[in-house]
Amino acid sequence: MSAVSPSIYENISIIKNQTSYPISGIDQRTSTVSFDYYESLFSPIVTANIALVDTNRLMSKLPIQGNEKVSFSIKSKLGTLDFNNKPLRIIGAPVAEKEPNRELVAMSLMSETAEENLKTTLTEKYTGKISDSVRKILTKELGILPNKLFIDQTLNTYNFLGSSKDAFKIIIELCQKSIPYGSDGLPGYFFFENQLGIHFRSISKMIEQDPYPISYEYNAILKNDENHDYRILSFRTIRNQSTLNALKSGVYCTRNIFFDPRLLEYTELIFKITDKGEMTLGDKPIKKPNTLGKSVKTASSFVSEDTDFTRTHFHILDVGMLESKSTKVNNNAMEWQAYSTSRYNILFSKMLNVVIPCNPNLLVGGLININVKGDTEYDEIESGKYLILNICHHFDTTRSYTSLTLVKDTPG
């Protein structure tokens, strides 16, 4: 059995009114045509799509109206995609195409936390470290178990109000404002879900983790080798390093203007990358921004002595908004705004789409080694460690494979 061969549907069941209805199996008159499972660094929920051929009209007899649970376990050669103990929810009534002796049914699934999140309205005040506030929101408001949370501690504190927003929206807004604790890493977090649970992870910490233990190979010979489970079936570069795009995004040099409403003064800072760097996925460190040309001015025109900047940021400092007598800046944007903007943009310097034989062990937010081989030697620019940005595990009646979107901040 090859990892690209059809996988085994050990269980796909709809749970309605506490009763389980199997929709796939040898003795069932309902068969699964395809199953797609998705994770993304940009999404705090996992999703899935199922396509069925229903000769017993089971979907119409139940009927499926949305919000029913679906448990599943799909086994491939390299691992098992198991959601028997944490079922997904059907988003809405399925789309059905009726024929004389059968129905073709398509259903979309999402995490249970997606519905719980929409029911939340945060109104209280949160204080202290950002990571502690994130943990409090996820456990108290969404009921996430501690063993399903993976949160990197933040260095900075931030006092804020829920402002009647839902939990996911608040946490996503906190990502850019978060500085990792215990490292020299740049600000910038991602909030996402994978098979293990829900994550609030620093970019720096994710890059420091160990990659998947086996490297994937891409060359013309291995591509058609059915017995090689760690070959790359398809390899496509969808974004490469562009100096013009980097300049537009303000990667190298930005002007940052901050307004202090208490003193009615503006502070202008020029952030430029320097030779000091932090760990990256390639063979060169990221050049960390350095603060240059600090000046305090009144509300008049700005004329910077440094004309190399290619982007300007404006920010109103939070002074006394929650504590009227306080003169301290709440989570000073001078410490994270330009840094995190630079870090996010650098992370997406290089982006690939690859298709490999199905491997359910791969998770979004993890690292993977890619070896790209030319005629005789490995390509040192394309090869190396990549961060998994998006992942799709696909299963159908003839094959199973995993599609990945990978990103890298430096070559090599």
CATH number at residue 126: 3.55.50.20
Same domain, 15 and 35: yes
Same domain, 90 and 237: yes
| Rounded alpha-carbon distances, angstroms, from residue 142 to 5, 136, 345, 355 | 38, 9, 31, 35
Neighbours of 243 (CB within 10 A): 9
Same domain, 228 and 255: no
Q: Domain count of the chain?
A: 3
Q: Is the pLDDT of residue 257 over 70?
A: yes
The number of residues making up the chain comes to: 412
Token pair listed for 93: 């009534």
Same domain, 58 and 184: no
In which band, very low, low, confident or very high, does the pLDDT at 335 lie, cut at 50, 70 and 90? confident
Q: Is the pLDDT of residue 24 over 50?
A: yes
End position of a domain, from candidates 344, 374, 394:
344
Report the distance separating Cα 395 and Cα 12, nearest Å. Answer: 13
Domain region containing 127:
115-206
Report the distance separating Cα 133 and Cα 350, nearest Å. Answer: 33
Same domain, 120 and 131: yes
End position of a domain, from candidates 310, 344, 378:
344
Same domain, 9 and 104: yes
For residue 297, the model assigns a pLDDT of: 47
| pLDDT tens by residue, 311-331 | 888 889 888 777 767 778 899
| pLDDT tens by residue, 200-238 | 999 999 999 999 999 999 886 776 677 789 999 999 988
Which pairing describes strands 197-202 and 149-151: parallel, antiparallel, or unpaired?
parallel
Least confident range of 46-50, 87-91, 138-142, 245-249 = 245-249
End position of a domain, from candidates 344, 369, 398:
344
Q: Is the pLDDT of residue 387 over 80?
A: yes
Same domain, 316 and 216: no
Same domain, 322 and 367: no
Same domain, 105 and 215: yes
Same domain, 326 and 400: no
Q: Residue 38 is part of a domain; what is its CATH number?
A: 2.30.300.10
Same domain, 358 and 324: no
Q: Phi first, then psi: give them for residue 74, nearest 5 degrees.
A: -125, 125
Same domain, 190 and 46: no
Which pairing describes strands 384-396 and 400-408: parallel, antiparallel, or unpaired?
antiparallel
